[in-house]
A and B are shown apart, each in its own frame.
Chain A
Amino acid sequence: MSIINPHLKFQSQAVAKPYFVFALILFVGQILFGLIMGLQYVVGDFLFPLLPFNVARMVHTNLLIVWLLFGFMGAAYYLIPEEADRELHSPKLAIILFWVFAAAGVLTILGYLFVPYAGLAEMTKNELLPTMGREFLEQPTITKIGIVVVALGFLYNIGMTLLKGRKTVVSTVMMTGLIGLAVFFLFSFYNPENLARDKYYWWFVVHLWVEGVWELIMGSMLAFVLIKITGVDREVIEKWLYVIIAMALITGIIGTGHHFFWIGAPTVWLWLGSIFSALEPLPFFAMVLFALNMVNRRRREHPNKAASLWAIGTTVTAFLGAGVWGFLHTLAPVNYYTHGSQITAAHGHLAFYGAYAMIVMTMISYAMPRLRGLGEAPDARAQRIEVWGFWLMTLSMVAITLFLTAAGVVQVWLQRIPADGAAMSFMATADQLAIFFWLRLVAGVFFLIGLVCYLCSFRQRGRVPVAAATAATA
């Protein structure tokens, strides 16, 4: 690289930047499709048959997964060299994989949008190794293979960096999380003919990702940012990190059982799933204590106030969304009535936003000013706009969650609790919930405004990037 960025410890960390930028572009797409679906919830034939709900939903959820993966990869490319105290093994490989993954992602989304799903299954020869048509794993098999190839190249790259460099707890935990992510994804290729078995192993991807290894990734990203912005002793932070991930895996692995209540698995899961998943809020609560404690004990005043707001915000929102809203419906006797209702949707939204969208934005908030050669922090005005974006998005997501929860409670009341004959049908119940869905849509619009605010905060005024200035005088 010809222009030296003085704000990066290692120049190869710069490969994180395209990953972050592309992640945010996909994030915008996710929100736009979310709004379309929000409208389809109340105006059922909106954009029909041009964009049926199932296609919009597939795009919405797949964009979420892919942008978070881009965010995690960007975070790893930034974090691993700095922790390992050496340049990335191969920046070139990181850039090649970026383009491969981006192209595969965009092609898959275009396929969803412009080819009927059955046609896509046929085109991609799904019958040879049927993996499609399962929630969140809708990608054609060839895309799934592409994801594995990208993941292997990525793990090789950061793994080599780690092996040749300093091994810290933060980087080791992140590496463990990322390897786990790749390993459990392999279960997406296992699609047994027996639906009960299919569902059981499907959770090995979905649950063991979001309530397992992703928590390792989140914990390590949080620990990294807290070390940087608080200056608290690494020993203290690493001890916390171990405690958090210990609680995450001890509760989360058997906690998978809360998905096995009603899908044909044996009754032992009713007890085990209830007990262990009731403890799943603990690691998230520990993260809140961790972030607040470290910020209170800070040894320096980091100028990037927005980044510390994101760091605390992600722990609190994750605790609410994953912890509290998860607990609300995780006990088997409660879940018997709430399973697959709007309460599930409420929990899903706040949990994913709080834990994973926000941890990626925490990392971006911390790393982006450096990657752009601006210094430790963007200027005060940019930070103010970023903080506006933070609050607008976060409060809107809380509102979305509350409206969906209200919808869920009424749904359970009308459709689930009464006996046969007295219970209202699904479609009749949906009509009764319209007011909540309208309010949710309004909150969604505010979320989009927040996102626009957040993106605007990247516009710098009155400051010339140092790297560019250095180049100009050279």
Chain B
Amino acid sequence: MSETFTKGMARNIYFGGSVFFFLVFLGLTYHTEQTFPERSNASEMTEAVVRGKAVWENNNCIGCHSLLGEGAYFAPELGNVFVRRGGEEAFKPFLQAWMKAQPLGAPGRRAMPQFHLSEQQVDDMAEFLKWTSKIDTNNWPPNKEG
């Protein structure tokens, strides 16, 4: 680099630039916070939804699945599984049956462990996944296969 561009100038760009953009980031975080209640339908976040999130976390579901596209990519996306698997009428019974049936035991197929969840826990998780499917994700995923 040329001699007219000094170390001092480089340092000032570093300090000034990072402080400036960090403050912008905080401002944007404030803006984001303002939109969360509406975009996530926070008013519909029932106690069952909150309990369901704990069931989700305590069983490390993210270790195989993705949720809103984040997680592992070994098993299907579950952010929209509510829509994919029956919706309002059929999702809850589907999830109860599905969780009971694991592992399916098909040779060579990716296998999901049996987590021994209670009916209540599966119901809570269904509520959590239903609520999650209604978060405004800017229309992601592109189709119901996730």
Contact = CB atoms under 8 A, between A and B. Distances in A.
B100 interface: no
Interface string B46-79: 0000100110111111111011111111111100
B110 A53 contact: yes
Contact of B61 (A133, A420, A425): A133
Contacts of A57: 63-64, 72, 74
Interface stretch (A43-51, A72-80, A350-358, A371-379): A43-51
Given A41-B74, A264-B68, A134 B145 contact: no
Given A239-B10, A243-B1, A196 B145 contact: no
Nearest to B121: A118
B135 interface: yes
A426 B1 CA distance: 50
Contact of A130 (B36, B57, B109): B57
A327 interface: no
A190 interface: no
Contacts of B69: 262-263, 339-340
Interface stretch (A21-29, A266-274, A312-320, A384-392): A266-274
A1 interface: no
A297 B88 CA distance: 68
A138 B35 contact: no
Given A48-B103, A416-B141, A426 B77 contact: yes
A462 B58 CA distance: 54
Given A130-B54, A424-B145, A340 B31 contact: no
Contact of B40 (A242, A264, A339): A264
A272 B32 CA distance: 13
A339 B6 CA distance: 41
Interface string B90-124: 00000000000001000111111111000000000
A133 to B, nearest CB: 3
Nearest to B114: A49
A240 B9 CA distance: 11
Contact of B136 (A134, A240, A264, A417): A264
Q: How large is the interface on A (under 10, 10 to 19, 20 to 34, 35 or more residues)?
A: 35 or more
A117 interface: yes
A263 B74 contact: no
B120 to A, nearest CB: 15
Contact of B58 (A126, A135, A337): A126
Interface stretch (A2-10, A142-150, A250-258): A250-258
B99 to A, nearest CB: 13
A390 B4 CA distance: 38
Contacts of B145: 415-416, 420, 423-426
A344 interface: yes
Nearest to A52: B113
Given A246-B17, A266-B39, 17 more contacts: A49-B113, A52-B113, A53-B72, A55-B63, A57-B74, A127-B54, A133-B58, A133-B59, A195-B68, A199-B70, A243-B1, A262-B141, A264-B40, A265-B39, A336-B140, A420-B145, A423-B144
19 contacts: A44-B108, A48-B111, A48-B113, A52-B112, A53-B72, A53-B75, A57-B64, A117-B60, A193-B50, A194-B45, A197-B33, A242-B13, A250-B18, A253-B22, A267-B138, A340-B69, A340-B70, A340-B71, A420-B144
